[in-house]
Amino acid sequence: MYDTIMTDLVDTILAPPGKAQDALVFAYGQTGTGKTHTMLGPDASLSRAAPANGCIDEDWGCFPRVVYNVWDRLKSSEQPFVLSISAAEFYLMTGGDLLADNKPIVASLQTGEPLGLKQVILQEPSQVLDVLAVIRKNRHTRSTKMNQSKGDHQGSSRGHASILLRVSRIETESGVLIETALNLIDLAGAERPSKIGVKRMSGYDAMIEIMNNPEKVSTDAQASLINFELHLLGTEVVTATQAHKTGSKPYKPQGLLNSVGMCALGSSLTGRAKIAIVVTLSQAEDCGWETWFSCQFGTNLSKLMTPRLLRQPSPVRVVVKGSIETLVDLRKNLAIKTVGDKYRFKRECTAQHELERLLVLRELLNTILPKEDLDKLFAPLQALEQNEEGKN
């Protein structure tokens, strides 16, 4: 499966300047059919030490293999590059940073992209195992009748996970910056209440329970909301397909119920990313309905034809200066505290997004610029940080 799907997506994010595009793969299927197993690998393979000499573990899933593949290809190309990982979980209509103890995040009003995520810069490819250990620890999981926790296995995922490998590189001939990302979406499994051992609950009752006590949500309410969100995503796929087909106006994510997850997942249907899907199925005879439903979702997504929105390369110094100016403006705005400012948190997340990007760019330029030039380029950022420390 890796050679069939993932190598093409890696080619997409590593294409030459002006031809590179983001990539995304959905893992969709009934609960307990192996979505997380396929995307990450069995828990035991992620817990043991990485093989020596840059080799991969034959039991690894798609994501650690992608990291090693991308690292090896960029290393052999002799291009300056930095790989970083960020991860979000969309749980109970909210979004959290899986690499920062589920700190709340928001979605961009313009693109639907998650904002406020921490980026972990990889110093070597084997570090991906440490990052995935944090992600697995922070995901919401629960043992169910069809996906029980046992040993290292944590049971059923109760939210949708988005794990991004971000690639920042400088093309050696032109000196331009190329930023792309491969996004792995591990969707929570579709569930029939009777099969996972819970009672059927309406979406309204589930939302009331969640609002009354978000810290202690029953498996019944979780299952209801998971199925509801998967239904919304399926509807969004059909909506995007029709919008792109008619071409009357550009498709934009609907942002149903102002859900961070639905905005983020819907943003992937705009054409910004080349999309693939892995549908996992059960061989059990009594899972026929779930198998049909999963295949129908895959069929609908396969009909999606989007424009190719390519990542445009830019001079790296221009990008750094522009990002610093944006961050400075945001920090000045945040310094003005207004009662009832409902957009303040969104600006905080946007500022964090710009800061994380700048930290990656500094790491990238550290490999090619003299220290004096690097310090001069990032002097406004250092002054901003010193000013913030002085206030605190």
Decide if 319 contacts 379 (C-beta within 8 A): no
Distances (CA, A) of 180 to 85, 97, 250: 12, 20, 22
- Is the model's pLDDT at 130 over the cut of 70? yes
Whether 293 and 333 map to the same domain: the answer is no
Whether 98 and 229 map to the same domain: the answer is yes
Whether 245 and 108 map to the same domain: the answer is yes
* Triad 210, 215, 221: Cα angle to 5°: 35
Whether 325 and 294 map to the same domain: the answer is no
Q: How far is Cα 85 from Cα 13, in angstroms, rounded to an integer?
A: 15
Average pLDDT over residues 50-71: 92
Distances (CA, A) of 247 to 251, 269, 272, 305: 9, 14, 16, 11
57-71, 281-295, 311-325: least confident range: 281-295
Q: How far is Cα 55 from Cα 48, in angstroms, rounded to an integer?
A: 14
The pLDDT assigned to 154 comes to: 58
- Is the model's pLDDT at 357 over the cut of 90? yes
Query: Which residue range(s) make up the domain with 292?
Result: 2-302
Decide if 167 contacts 67 (C-beta within 8 A): no
Binding site members: 29-36
The pLDDT assigned to 175 comes to: 83
Domain boundary among 302, 337, 354: 302
Whether 260 and 166 map to the same domain: the answer is yes
What 3-state DSSP class applies to 209? helix
Q: What is the average pLDDT score of the chain?
A: 85
In a domain, residue 307? The reply is no
The pLDDT assigned to 118 comes to: 96
Domain boundary among 244, 277, 302: 302
Average pLDDT over residues 70-99: 92
Mind listing the pLDDT tens digit for each residue in 190-230? Answer: 666 666 556 777 777 877 887 888 778 777 777 777 778 78
What percentage of residues in the chain have a pLDDT greater than 90? 43
Domain boundary among 281, 302, 323: 302
90-104, 282-296, 353-367: least confident range: 282-296
Determine the length of the chain. 392
In a domain, residue 382? The reply is yes
How many domains does the chain fold into? Answer: 2
Whether 267 and 320 map to the same domain: the answer is no
Binding site members for ATP: 29-36
Q: Which residues pair with 157 in a beta bridge?
A: 141
